[in-house]
Amino acid sequence: MARHVHFPEAIPIMLELWNEANIYEDEVSQDTENSLLSVLGNEEFWAGNPEYPAALEVAIPDDLRVVSDGPISDWLRVEKWVNLLVSLTAQPEFRELVKNDLVKNCNSFLSNDDWRVRQFSVKLLASLGFSKEWQLPENILEGLKDMAVSDLDADVQSEAINALSNLLEAHAEKYHDSIVPTINQHLESGIEDTERKVRLAWGKLASSQINDVDFPRVQKLINATVKERDDCVRTEAVGTLQKILKTKLRARMATELGKTLDSSLRNPELAERAISIYTTLTARESTPEGRHNSTERHHLWVEIIILLGRYSEFQTLNKLIEQTIKEDWSAVGFPSLDILFKTVNLKLPESLNSIIPKALEFSLDLEKNATTEARTQATELFGHLIGCMPNGEKFQENYDSLLAKENRFHDIISPSIPLLLKIGLTDGDSQHEDLRKDVKKILFTNLGSFAEEIKLNRDILAEIPHLITIISLTLGGKEAVLELVDKLIITDKTAASIARALTPILRNTSSSWVARTASIDLLSRLHAKHSRTWPRLIEPAIHEIIAVALDDKDPIRKTAVRLLASLATPPTDGSGDSHVLQVNANMGFREEIMRHGKQFIALLKDEHLRSSVVELLSILSTDIEMRRKISMSILTSAMSTELKSFVFVGQVELLARLISDGRFLHEPIDIVMLLVASALVTRPILRNTPYRLEILTALWCRYKLKDVPTAAFEHRDLIDWFAFGLFGRHTTVNEVETWSKGCREWLGKVGSS
């Protein structure tokens, strides 16, 4: 009880402390102010203690007049006082103390030339209106409404609008008839005001009286929401729209939203905001079990709406948006896309299953007028339709649920595969490069994670043979194609089908050399991946590959020769039926190639092809008949008088390779060739070639021939041989001299030390 007796005497001291407290918002000042405010507003002191309000009555009047009387230089301190007085008006006894003074000075407060006086006055006068027992006089309400509509200062105007909003929220029954007509009359201009604060306040005011606002006014709110550039103002406006959707106006609201969002999605300047609004209005608010899947389905449906919005030929988007907004998904969670497709029971010109592929095609086609944003959106939608979420980490789980089990959306995405591949395989500007990265993430990273064939992989690879003939395939695009074949898992049957489709490209010389080279490389990759389980995979293409290799006008013949060498290479040791099939297939390939043995031997004169042809002939020489043909060709060349011809050089390189590979065995022709090789290295014509040293080394290492004639050798020959062993076939004179000079210097230093 003692504190009740002595507390009133402390009030002037407390107010003095308040007045002297630091006006800046540091932590100590805030703690002091909060403590004083807590004590001054304590109901325990107000209840049944007349001395407490009496003490305030003595202390407060002078402080009330600080709002408007005399010159005011310290506005931060004045604002502190106003906030204190507003807080204290929560107590009925205090309101009674200041009410008469405020009401009496109302006109002078609200009409003051200084905007800060008007703003502080609005706060104080509005705080009186929260009393249950007392109602603001009409003249004060009129003053607040006038300031809300027409005050020249945005801070004062927004303060007045917020005051009206708070009064309606607290005591709608008392202030409804006075304030709502003002909302109806000025909402349209208010939400389009040039000042952000004013627009934000009008949006909040409209939100407080949704059920009372005429629907045409709400349509203005919808339009203004889409056009609003400020995020905070738009968020407030969207919140208002969400409240409308929870009222009896939902169906009518959905119709108007459908029209507005339809036109906005097709407007590049408004599309992003329209997307944000549609996403928010159709999102689920609660978070029960299953929210994750519901969120993904909702996200996917929003992307479909966006895609259709960018597709100018789709004219009934407004009906689609209207239907999805009209249904309250927040109660049950966004349904699966199957259910959603069935739910959207509209009289569309054609089914969504037909419309969406056309929209994807329109947006992905690089030759049409679709924007980069549209292509990006379509790419993302494609990825999400197959279950590839933005982070790409949950791909397989989602793919299984969306495609693999029910195969529901395959018809939707399958027509888009060629266009998606075209983006991924062609070059473009920096924006296009970003698209290529997105496509590669979908096709390479995610689809490549499956350990067995999926239908989508099959469709993608089946499209490549046709695609590489109609696009300007670059070397980078070719590498991307080969990477796809390496990463995507397909069955032997699918691989064989692709190989058959690649074969005609080889014979079509009008196709670009990059496309034809890619075809041969693809055949090579397919053979490498499937030769164990389907050895005859590319057997139908063998004649075309040989024809390309032997065509002296074909720029890709070297690639063809390399593939033939791969096909002719015998399988490694193994057993079982699979190995038998591999051996039989290899024998078939070799027989077909060896039918053209003389023609391949003749290619040794082509310096560009020589190394590849030498490799092929060395592999084929394991057959005795083929080795005999090759040996006779070398002997004929060795006896020729034109020893410097390209034919002779090619034959010598082939001889060196045959000896190095140990192809000569115990047949009479093999013994003859070894003797010829021993004699050939002594001929002066080979003195300055690396082949002599290679042949000598191979004879020693492979056949241990120590009695090679050496009478013709000079000391220089030993240096050449040593240089060959040290530097390889293509050593230069400069390299040898530099090395020799360094050795002499080093040896000299060692000898003198």
**pLDDT digit string (tens) for 42-66?**
666 666 666 666 666 666 545 455 5
Sign of CA dihedral 695, 700, 704, 707: positive
Quick one: three-class SS letters along 75-137? HHHHHHHHHHHHHHCCCHHHHHHHHHHHHHCHHHHHCCCCHHHHHHHHHHHHHHCCCCCCCCC
Kindly write down the DSSP assignment for every residue of 481-499, as one continuous string: HHHHHHHS---HHHHHHHH
pLDDT digits (tens, 9 = 90+) for 320-348: 888 888 777 665 566 666 666 666 666 66
Per the prediction, the chain carries an average pLDDT of: 75
CA atoms within 13 A on the CB side of 324: 28
Q: Which of 90-94, 260-264, 294-298, 383-387 has the lowest mean pLDDT?
A: 90-94
Eight-state DSSP code of residue 429: -
Q: Is the pLDDT of residue 719 over 80?
A: no
Separation of alpha carbons 426 and 481, rounded Å: 11
Give the C-alpha distances (Å, rounded to integers) separating 394 from 5, 121, 301, 314, 509: 71, 58, 18, 32, 44
pLDDT digits (tens, 9 = 90+) for 207-242: 766 665 555 567 777 888 888 888 888 888 888 788
Nearest to 307 by CA among 296, 297, 317, 298: 317
pLDDT digits (tens, 9 = 90+) for 626-640: 999 999 988 888 776
Give the pLDDT confidence score for residue 249 in this predicted structure: 76
Give the pLDDT confidence score for residue 11 in this predicted structure: 56
Q: Is the pLDDT of residue 416 over 70?
A: yes
Main-chain phi, psi angles of 30, to 5 degrees:
-65, -45
Q: Is the pLDDT of residue 441 over 70?
A: yes
Q: Region 575-604: what's the mean pLDDT?
A: 88
∠ CA 86-91-92, nearest 5°, is: 115
Give the C-alpha distances (Å, rounded to integers) separating 451 from 382, 414, 522, 533, 709: 22, 21, 20, 16, 60
Give the pLDDT confidence score for residue 7 in this predicted structure: 47
Q: Which of 201-210, 248-257, 609-618 has the lowest mean pLDDT?
A: 201-210
Separation of alpha carbons 373 and 438, rounded Å: 13
Question: If pLDDT is split at 50, 70 and 90, which confidence band does 699 have?
Answer: confident
Eight-state DSSP code of residue 415: G
Eight-state DSSP code of residue 414: G
Q: Which of 151-165, 313-327, 681-695 has the lowest mean pLDDT?
A: 681-695
Q: Is the pLDDT of residue 538 over 80?
A: yes
Give the C-alpha distances (Å, rounded to integers) separating 505 from 29, 520, 521, 522: 83, 9, 12, 12
Q: Region 442-449: what's the mean pLDDT?
A: 69
pLDDT digits (tens, 9 = 90+) for 341-380: 666 666 666 677 778 888 887 777 766 656 777 777 788 7
High-pLDDT (> 70) share of the chain, %: 66
**Range with the largest mean pLDDT of 85-94, 154-163, 567-576, 673-682:** 154-163
Question: If pLDDT is split at 50, 70 and 90, which confidence band does 613 have?
Answer: very high
**Range with the largest mean pLDDT of 124-138, 154-168, 575-589, 654-668:** 654-668
Instruction: Specify the pTM.
Output: 0.62
Residues 318, 259: contact at Cβ < 8 Å? yes
Residues 205, 165: contact at Cβ < 8 Å? yes
Give the pLDDT confidence score for residue 664 in this predicted structure: 92
Eight-state DSSP code of residue 152: S
Residue that is written with structure tokens 């209005």 in the block? 281
Separation of alpha carbons 105 and 56, rounded Å: 20
- Residues across the chain: 753
Sign of CA dihedral 248, 250, 255, 261: positive
Eight-state DSSP code of residue 388: -
